[in-house]
Amino acid sequence: MTASIPSTSPAHSSEISAALLGWYDRYARDLPWRAAPGSPAADPYRVWLSEVMLQQTTVAAVKPYFEKFIARWPDVEALAAAPEADVMAAWAGLGYYSRARNLVRCAGEVAAMGGFPASEAELRKLPGLGAYTAAAVAAIAFGQRAVVVDANVERVVSRLFAIAQPLPGSRKRIGAYAETITPEKRAGDFAQGMMDLGSGICTPRDPKCLLCPLSAHCAARSEGNPVAYPVKAPKKPKPLRQGTAYWIERGSAVWLVTREGRGMLGGMRSLPDDGWAASGDGSGDPPLTGEWAPAGMVRHTFTHFTLELSVRRFRGEVAEAPIGGEWWPLERLGDAGLPSLFAKAARLAQA
Ligand code: SF4
């Protein structure tokens, strides 16, 4: 950490960590990837899988996917041996699909190494493990003292220390403060306790300071307006992209393609489209010449832009299949693993 501004004393820091751990011992959420507070650490495979799934995704959305993955691929060796297409299809609906591709690559590397490395630095070298995930796995699965800062922890720390600098510029500062209160022992429980506190007590709009184990130490509460933190820089509006997806039906099947490996939604099945992901303006040609009827519009927000996707249905008889795809039975469309955007488009086309 380079932003070493914190002014907490060691005694103050240990009071904060002790209060948080005491609270976690009583109120920890029961989650399928967790070990109970104070008990031996959870299986690194489960911790890693859950943390990858939880990136940008809520606990409620992750739970059924986690259960499904664990039932189908109970350990890292099983996941490493799975065909990528199966993993991508099982991931469909969770979003941020590069995570699924990295999941398969990472499982392969870990299986070849004979297991997960225990240190944060070694974990960081694995595909898809950024600073946050590496720290979380090191702390939660291996009990290492690592500083784990997700969005919940960011909020709690910003409030505890009334950090006036706006996000995202304040991240280093927040990390430096988080480091001062991370204990030498039980760093994994401490990290999970901070996450639980941010999720259930120190919530974005309605922090329940009367129930908070850290209220006596909280600068934002003393100031009287905790929701003023974290301070955020004004958001720039997301650019708008436009594109078209095509619905081509023949008999009781629809034409699906598999997307280019490394591009957006790469490796996933989808409806054919006009190449909006690459060109940004949807200037590509339809996959068949003939008459197309509009079926509606899907609006979908990605991390860096919003997409308006027009859906068009082919009206004529399909004499010859387009190039590079497959006829997929309509009655099994739910098994195709379409990402949410194209699942919405398919519903529209069938309405
Ligand atoms: S006292 Fe209130 S604002 Fe401060 S950490 Fe607790 S819940 Fe958040």
| Average pLDDT across the chain, whole number | 91
Q: What are phi and psi of 256, to 5 degrees?
A: -120, 150
CA of 175 to the centre of ligand 1 (A): 18
- Show the tokens assigned to 329: 């039975």
Does the annotation count 326 as an active-site position?
no
Angle among Cα 200, 201, 203 to the nearest 5 degrees reads 80
* Cα–Cα separations (whole angstroms), residue 19 to 12, 68, 114, 163, 230: 11, 36, 38, 21, 22
User: Using CA atoms, how far apart are residues 247 and 346, in angstroms rounded to an integer?
Assistant: 7
pLDDT digits (tens, 9 = 90+) for 130-147: 999 999 999 999 999 999
Q: Is the pLDDT of residue 123 over 50?
A: yes
Domains defined along the chain, listed by start: 10-228 (1.10.340.30), 240-350 (3.90.79.10)
Q: Is the pLDDT of residue 1 over 70?
A: no
pLDDT number for residue 6: 55
Mutate to test the pocket of ligand 1, among 27, 163, 194, 215 (most ligand atoms within 8 A of CB): 215
Strand partners, 308: 242, 299
Looking from the CA of residue 207, the nearest atom of ligand 1 is 7
Q: Cβ–Cβ contacts within 10 Å for residue 263, how many?
A: 11
Question: What secondary structure letter does DSSP report for 252?
Answer: T
User: Using CA atoms, how far apart are residues 231 and 329, in angstroms rounded to an integer?
Assistant: 51
pLDDT digits (tens, 9 = 90+) for 287-311: 888 899 999 999 999 888 999 999 9
* Residue in 15, 51, 308, 320 annotated catalytic: 51
Question: What secondary structure letter does DSSP report for 230?
Answer: S
pLDDT digits (tens, 9 = 90+) for 32-76: 999 999 888 889 999 999 999 998 899 999 999 999 999 999 999
* Cα–Cα separations (whole angstroms), residue 217 to 175, 194, 351: 18, 14, 56
* Cα–Cα separations (whole angstroms), residue 270 to 92, 139, 146, 195, 290: 11, 38, 40, 35, 21
Q: Tell whether omega for the bond before 294 is within 30 degrees of 0, i.e. cis.
A: no
Mutate to test the pocket of ligand 1, among 158, 201, 206, 225 (most ligand atoms within 8 A of CB): 201
CA of 215 to the centre of ligand 1 (A): 5
- Show the tokens assigned to 259: 């997307």
- Buried b / exposed e over 121-150, threshold 16 CB at 10 Å, is eebbebebbeebbbbbbbbbbbbbbbbbbb
- Show the tokens assigned to 53: 């799934």
Q: What are phi and psi of 298, to 5 degrees?
A: -110, 130
- Pairing assessment for the beta strands 240-247 and 269-270 based on DSSP bridges: unpaired
Ligand 1 pocket check for 149: Cβ under 6 Å? no
CA of 142 to the centre of ligand 1 (A): 29
- Show the tokens assigned to 156: 């709690």
pTM of the model: 0.76
